[in-house]
Amino acid sequence: MSSTEVEHVAPAELSALRHALEIARRGPAGGPNPRVGAVLLSQSGEVLGEGWHRGAGTPHAEVAALVDASARGTDTVGATAVVTLEPCNHTGRTGPCSEALIAAGVRRVVVSVADPNPVAAGGAQRLRAAGVDVQTGVLAAEGRELLGAWLPSVERGRPFVTLKLATSLDGRVAAADGSSRWITSEVSRHHAHELRTEVGAIVVGTGTVLADDPSLTSRNAAGELHGQQPLRVVVGHRPVPVGARLRGPGGELIEIDTHDPAVVLARLTEREVRHVLVEGGPTLAAAFVRAGLVDEVHAYVAPVLLGAGPPALADLGITTIGDAVRLTTRQVLPLGPDVLVVATPEPASTMEES
């Protein structure tokens, strides 16, 4: 946090913002809307109310905090609202939070992250126009981390794409006979199911559907379905068989008759999907990489050697090492006998300079 932020923010406001970041995580991670938390403070720094966004169609965090304050019987006139994301300034499924704060008599608003969504942005400007003191950019790094994939999705105008790979140490996703259960350990598979809880859609190709008959559900350690399930998206020209597990319990099944990753993301953008997990085989994975539409790679690597079998990626058309797709490692996490490597592709300009 910069010295400028310290000069303009009271200790009680910083404490409230850290609490707002914490309670925001109670909201759903895979929905179309961001996780947001809000805390209302009296002029003496006492908590008047708090709230978080519980999902699309429910009150936003600021309104939830105002409702909580009302239930406590506290007066919000002259209060400070501490919010993890700039209050919205538009009417969607709910009304504008900026107007709700003004109507409640809030005199000051402390914000972590400015809203990059052009539809919802402008709340800080509206508040200032009404005479409300607004401080933005407080604990911004923590605020951006909380928003996760939602933030780059809004900034890029398409879903954030995570490519998941589960391979042997020599980069194979299956043995020569096609068998692949299980290359990675139960610990890795459980971690992968937790990742599924954070996304809005899981994407595979028709080849994977026909070969593996996956269910593409998000389950807990006991094998039970989580309450909120991602969309199950199948890409390709062949239909999903009538008796496929994809037609069983789980998220909605969507079949997209294309091989173009950009078309897939456009369709999912229309569905307000913010985070996509690509779990398809080598062909689909390579298509997304070639299109430059992979934002993050989760590679689960098992200490297994196969020597033959399909690789993690199909041909990328790369013939020389200088053209290799290079990634920056962000995290290395041991998972039982396996290792998870989280990496992000380097920008094209960086790769060209190297």
List active site positions. Answer: 62
Q: What does the alpha-carbon distance between residue 316 and residue 285 come to, in Å, rounded to a whole number?
A: 10
Q: What does the alpha-carbon distance between residue 286 and residue 275 come to, in Å, rounded to a whole number?
A: 19
Instruction: Specify whether the CB–CB gap between 154 and 193 falls below 8 A.
Output: no
Instruction: Read off the tokens for 345.
Output: 């592709």
Question: If you ran DSSP here, which 8-state letter would residue 323 be given?
Answer: G
Q: For the chain, percent helix, then strand, then coil, each to nearest 5? A: 30, 25, 45
The C-alpha R_g of the chain, in whole angstroms, comes to 23
Query: Residue 54: left (phi > 0), alpha (psi -120 to 50), or beta?
Result: alpha
Beta strands in 79-205 (DSSP E): 80-85, 108-113, 133-135, 160-168, 201-205
Q: What does the alpha-carbon distance between residue 268 and residue 153 come to, in Å, rounded to a whole number?
A: 12
- The amino acid at residue 294 is V
Q: What does the alpha-carbon distance between residue 235 and residue 11 come to, in Å, rounded to a whole number?
A: 51
DSSP secondary structure letters along 189-255: HHHHHHHHTT-SEEEEEHHHHHHH------B-TTSPBPSS--EEEEESSSPPPTT-GGGSSSSPEEE
Cβ contacts of 233 within 8 Å, gap of 6 or more: 201, 202, 203, 204, 254, 255, 256, 264, 268, 276
Residue environment code for 42-66, b if the CB has 16+ CB neighbours within 10 A, otherwise e: beeeebbbbbbbbeeebbbbbbbbb
Cβ contacts of 221 within 8 Å, gap of 6 or more: 190
